[in-house]
Structure 1
Amino acid sequence: MSASKLAAHSARCSTAVGSPIDTIVSRYVDYLRARRYASDTIQRYLASLRHFARRLDKRLTLDDIDDALVMEFVDVHLPHCRCPRPCMRHVNTVRAALRHLLSVLKDEGLSNAGRAQLHTPVDIELELFRHYLVDSCGYAQTTCCNRLWHIRNFLDSVFGQEAVTADQLTSTDIENFTARYFKGRSHATRLTYCVDLASYLRFRGLHGDDTRALLAAIPKMAPPMPARLPIAMTNRELDLFFAAFDLTSPIGMRDFAISRCLADLALRRMEVVRLQLGSFDWQNGTVTLTHTKGGRERKLPLPVQTAKALIRYLRYGRPDTSSRAVFVRQIAPYDKPISAVAINDLIRSAFVRAGLDERFRGVHALRRTAATRLVHCVIELAPVEPGAMDRHTST
């Protein structure tokens, strides 16, 4: 079905006469078509828009459609929907359709989301803190986001919508916050909150505030109980894991190549996501990582088995796409790299298929396995001094 026919079909079926969404249906369909969504999927998304349009107040305009309105419809209306049939009620489908609607509105300049809005005092304070984390500390984006989220919780609990003034903070504020957010959380999460609070208070100290008493009020976390060494996969388990991928399907070829990068090169998920076609020097057998956790460029040797898996995927499994990312989505929206969450899911699924899910769960098991195998290789290749074993046995 063509885009014009889809738009006409939506207009005929819409029961929301005069709905503001009717004016951008054609643009919405073009947006989905450009991302190569199937016609059936576009129809379901249009049905979701019609359901959403029924609930809109007649006085609302496109400017009034924002994240809050969408969230209210998905989280409040859908679970208790009694709208007359036919209407789309599938939560994931409706949420995806409305997310695309917000993107179209933003592209067309019709959404308040892309316009400058008034910032609360907490927002302004967090923006200053973000510049400190990025410019002075050089933290990665993920670390900054997590730290800002924790500090936002802290500042909101103390100041709310009022002005943020560090000299009004007291040790009691620190104690009340940690007591509330420590409840039911692991030792590692509690330690993270303490580190983030200390980072923020040091930031305020650089701005002339006396935060010594506040820093002293942060709980001193006792070391965790001694844990057993991380478990690495044996050669047999690794063989079972690699055998769990279907190398006759494009998705199986992609997932197998990702797994080889994780297990052979000890890459992190985001390092796999950020691999580009130009990252590989096939002639010299190397791969260059430019977006690492430490922000430094690294060049690694490319094992033969990893190269073979990559070549198989690039030749027979990778879809036609304008993206320069090595690993891309196999379903719409196309032309986008695979996400870190998707990598975690595909590795977990492979553990289940291999019957290893009781021992291994996450992606990091492959990184630990690669490190363990490397240590074993170093031990095996290390030269032994003459008489070293005699001295060892005599002691």
Structure 2
Amino acid sequence: MSTFHLPHCAYADWIVAGPIAPHADAIKQHFADGRYALSTVASYLSNIAHFARWARSKRLRLCRIDEVSVTEFLDEHLPHCRCAQPVRHDRRDHRAALGHLLFVLRARGVVTLPVKSAKPVDEELRRFDAYMDRVRGLAPKTRSQVLRIVGRLLRQRLGDGVVDIASIKPAHVRSFYAQQAKLHCKPGGAGSVVAALHSYFRYRSSLGDQVHALIGAVSAPANWRLATLPKALTAQELEQLVSSLGRPGRSMRRADAIVRCAMDLGLRSGEVARLKLDDIDWRAGTITLRHTKGLREDVLPLPASTGEAIAAYLKSERPQTSNRAVFVRHIAPHDEPVGPDLIRKTIRQAYGRAGLAYTRSHLLRHTMANRLLAGGSSLKEVADVLRHRALSTTQVYAKLDSRSLVEVALPWPGSAS
């Protein structure tokens, strides 16, 4: 166990006198292991001490500390706090600090994990979530959105009763869709409601339920998926982006390697975040993608520019860590891999440094498809590189294939050629 020296917390006596006193050292050690800055730890400990004082005043036993008590503290005590100054009142900082507190207490086995609801609808949603994860390979954010929509329908129609799909009629589905469409005002929002409902009904169909009438009860709003051109960087914009790489600065080598992975390999943000050191074969010049959206492993050639950017990051900037992820956090908590959100943020920042008014990281994937087509690759080859499960997904890029479109273009009426 590492030694952790921390300036005396202004409210240390609140921790010692409260229900979490036996675990105060373990909490400090948790922050030491994550290599948090002393100022951050001091702030978190003061917030935990504030909660400990409140818990003592409520005579809250240690085993009763959970998300419910934390929410009660944040919602009822913090806005009207009259504790001795200088107590902080920042809700976000308190929530973050108490999240660490719950993690430590559960790791030590003194606080139980949240009890999963045994209501029939909640159990049904867990089974449906497992199906979307293991069978369809949907991303966590996609599954979460689908579960929210389907959960609203099931709770509205079934309440706390058993899940009887036969009790849901097409009229119920249409009425529910009309309600939800008003809540999803963004472009494509209503379509996401239909997609979620259809996904659940198809799942029930796989279990043998007769749900064809429910599937046909609502249809997706008109959305001409192939009506617009997929946005991609122009050759000049791509050159701007490439020219902006290689700048000195904090975490810049990691940023260069991330941009190269998206630009040269067309990787999704989640795929970049999940890369492991063992996935790169430096001798063979290949990189293996595991746990992809297509639920398969793919081996891709590693371009020299991408390999050089990754190698520069590994040699000169990657922190010492036992974690096998290629891209790891440079700030606390250390020894943890980065997430997809940081990958997207890094690419957005790269656009800004290059003077490009773009924000979507997926733009680099479209750009790669455009470059492949411009270089003479077929749609099938583009589909293989992008790892699409169906060629129809790649068809949208056909309109970017200027070389082939010229050959099939008809002369303008009345023109000489």
Shift of 1:270: 0.7
Q: Could you tell me whether the CA contact under 8 Å between 2:255 and 2:350 is conserved in 1?
A: no
Letter in 2 for 1:378: G
CA distance in 1, matches of 2:134, 2:228: 38
Within-5 A mapping of 1:67-82: 67-74=67-74, 77-79=77-79, 81-82=81-82
Map of 1:294 onto structure 2: 294
Asked if residue 235 in structure 1 is aligned to residue 227 in structure 2, the reply is: no
Deviates more, 1:224-233 or 1:18-27: 224-233
Equivalent position SS for 1:287: strand
| Change beyond 3 A, Cα 1:77–1:124 | same
Q: Could you tell me whether the CA contact under 8 Å between 1:249 and 1:317 is conserved in 2?
A: no
Shift of 1:138: 5.1
Map of 2:132 onto structure 1: 133
Shift of 1:125: 1.2
Deviates more, 1:201-210 or 1:121-130: 201-210
Q: Could you tell me whether the CA contact under 8 Å between 2:11 and 2:50 is conserved in 1?
A: no
Q: Could you tell me whether the CA contact under 8 Å between 1:250 and 1:316 is conserved in 2?
A: no
CA distance in 2, matches of 1:257, 1:216: 47
CA distance in 2, matches of 1:355, 1:193: 37
CA distance in 2, matches of 1:336, 1:16: 28
Within-5 A mapping of 1:5-154: 6=6, 9-10=8-9, 13-15=12-14, 18-56=17-55, 57-74=57-74, 77-79=77-79, 81-113=81-113, 116-137=115-136, 139=138, 141-154=140-153
Shift of 1:136: 4.8
Q: Could you tell me whether the CA contact under 8 Å between 2:15 and 2:48 is conserved in 1?
A: no
Partner deviation per Cα, 1:290-318 (whole Å, 9 max, x = no partner)? 22110111111111111111111000010
Partner deviation per Cα, 1:118-163 (whole Å, 9 max, x = no partner)? 4122111112323443455454555444332321122122223333
| Change beyond 3 A, Cα 1:15–1:108 | closer
Shift of 1:81: 4.3
Within-5 A mapping of 1:326-365: 326-357=326-357, 360-365=358-363
Q: Could you tell me whether the CA contact under 8 Å between 1:187 and 1:224 is conserved in 2?
A: no
Equivalent position SS for 1:321: coil
Number of aligned pairs? Answer: 384
CA distance in 2, matches of 1:309, 1:19: 51
| Change beyond 3 A, Cα 1:338–1:65 | same
Q: Could you tell me whether the CA contact under 8 Å between 1:46 and 1:97 is conserved in 2?
A: yes
Map of 1:371 onto structure 2: 369
Equivalent position SS for 1:20: coil
CA distance in 2, matches of 1:248, 1:23: 47
Map of 2:214 onto structure 1: 214
Shift of 1:265: 0.6
Shift of 1:235: 3.1
Equivalent position SS for 1:288: strand
Map of 1:253 onto structure 2: 253
What is the TM-score when the length of structure 2 is the normalising length?
0.82
Identity %: 38
Shift of 1:178: 1.0
Letter in 2 for 1:369: T
| Change beyond 3 A, Cα 1:54–1:246 | farther
CA distance in 2, matches of 1:88, 1:98: 14
| Change beyond 3 A, Cα 1:65–1:196 | same
Shift of 1:337: 0.7
Partner deviation per Cα, 1:314-372 (whole Å, 9 max, x = no partner)? 00010001100000000010111111111111222222233212xx1110111111111
Q: Could you tell me whether the CA contact under 8 Å between 1:250 and 1:318 is conserved in 2?
A: no
CA distance in 1, matches of 2:332, 2:139: 29
Map of 2:382 onto structure 1: none
Shift of 1:251: 0.7
Map of 1:161 onto structure 2: 160
CA distance in 2, matches of 1:237, 1:251: 23
Equivalent position SS for 2:288: strand
Map of 1:186 onto structure 2: 186
Q: Could you tell me whether the CA contact under 8 Å between 1:120 and 1:161 is conserved in 2?
A: yes
Shift of 1:247: 3.7
Shift of 1:181: 1.4
Letter in 1 for 2:36: Y
Shift of 1:71: 3.3
CA distance in 2, matches of 1:295, 1:198: 21
Equivalent position SS for 1:9: coil
CA distance in 1, matches of 2:344, 2:137: 27
| Change beyond 3 A, Cα 1:354–1:281 | same
Shift of 1:192: 2.5
Unpaired stretches in structure 2, ≥5 consecutive residues: 379-400
Letter in 1 for 2:368: A
Shift of 1:252: 0.8
CA distance in 2, matches of 1:124, 1:290: 30
Map of 2:263 onto structure 1: 263
| Change beyond 3 A, Cα 1:296–1:157 | same
Map of 1:170 onto structure 2: 169
Shift of 1:283: 1.6
CA distance in 2, matches of 1:10, 1:379: 63
What is the TM-score when the length of structure 1 is the normalising length?
0.86
Structural RMSD (CA):
3.1
Shift of 1:27: 0.7
Q: Could you tell me whether the CA contact under 8 Å between 2:279 and 2:287 is conserved in 1?
A: yes
Partner deviation per Cα, 1:254-276 (whole Å, 9 max, x = no partner)? 01110111111100001101111
Q: Could you tell me whether the CA contact under 8 Å between 1:64 and 1:112 is conserved in 2?
A: no
| Change beyond 3 A, Cα 1:258–1:46 | same
Q: Could you tell me whether the CA contact under 8 Å between 1:277 and 1:324 is conserved in 2?
A: yes
| Change beyond 3 A, Cα 1:245–1:101 | farther
CA distance in 1, matches of 2:303, 2:342: 24
Unpaired stretches in structure 1, ≥5 consecutive residues: none
